[in-house]
């Protein structure tokens, strides 16, 4: 489990020379590991790594993989109608984009934090979905994959998954 900082790309090497998530493992004797899914450069939070491609495929499988939970700061004050529209979803470039759960965590006069849950992750899904409603993402943090939570893991820090977490992720957690 890595707490991916904003600004790093989720790849082993970047053809444009940008810093990658592997910077967080510098000097660690762990062997080859690969990210399970992705978080874009502007996103942060929980990112899993594994040396088992079959296990990773199970986690990222849209039909059986665990739900992913995000805390998203937006430049709007959402109402119940917006939350319903996020659940109903939209069509964007031939893809159906929606969330399986949405709630307001807290709000101010001009922005708010939402908790959004995805059953499957499509490229920049949350950003594209909110953009369709003319809402900009100010910050996007993945806080959980299934029952594995980011908790108080510091940015750029990592920890091994526990045996219980590995087992829970291997089962469907939807």
Residues with a catalytic annotation lie at 40
Let me know: does 123 contact 37? Beta carbons within 8 Å. Answer: no
- C-alpha distance across the termini of the chain, in Å: 20
Four-residue CA torsion sign, 86, 87, 90, 92: positive
**Local structure of 31: helix, strand or coil:** coil
Four-residue CA torsion sign, 45, 65, 103, 124: positive
Q: Which parts of the chain are beta strand (E)?
A: 2-4, 34-36, 44-50, 68-74, 90-92, 95-97, 101-107, 112-118, 137-145, 148-149
Let me know: does 139 contact 75? Beta carbons within 8 Å. Answer: no
């Amino acid at each position: 489990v890595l707490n991916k900082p904003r600004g790093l790309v989720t790849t082993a090497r970047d053809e444009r020379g940008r810093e990658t998530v592997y910077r967080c493992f510098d000097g660690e004797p762990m062997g080859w590991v690969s990210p399970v899914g992705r978080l874009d450069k502007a996103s942060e939070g929980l990112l899993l790594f594994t040396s088992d491609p079959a296990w990773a495929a199970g986690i990222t499988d849209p039909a059986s993989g665990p739900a992913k939970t995000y805390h998203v700061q937006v430049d709007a004050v959402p109402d119940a109608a917006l939350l319903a529209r996020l659940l109903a979803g939209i069509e964007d470039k031939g893809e159906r984009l929606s969330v399986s759960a949405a709630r307001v965590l807290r709000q101010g006069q001009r922005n708010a934090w939402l908790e959004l849950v995805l059953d499957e992750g499509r490229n920049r899904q949350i950003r594209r979905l909110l953009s369709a409603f003319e809402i900009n993402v100010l910050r996007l943090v993945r806080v959980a994959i299934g029952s594995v939570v980011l908790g108080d893991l510091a940015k750029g820090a990592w920890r091994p998954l526990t045996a219980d977490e590995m087992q829970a992720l291997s089962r469907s957690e939807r």
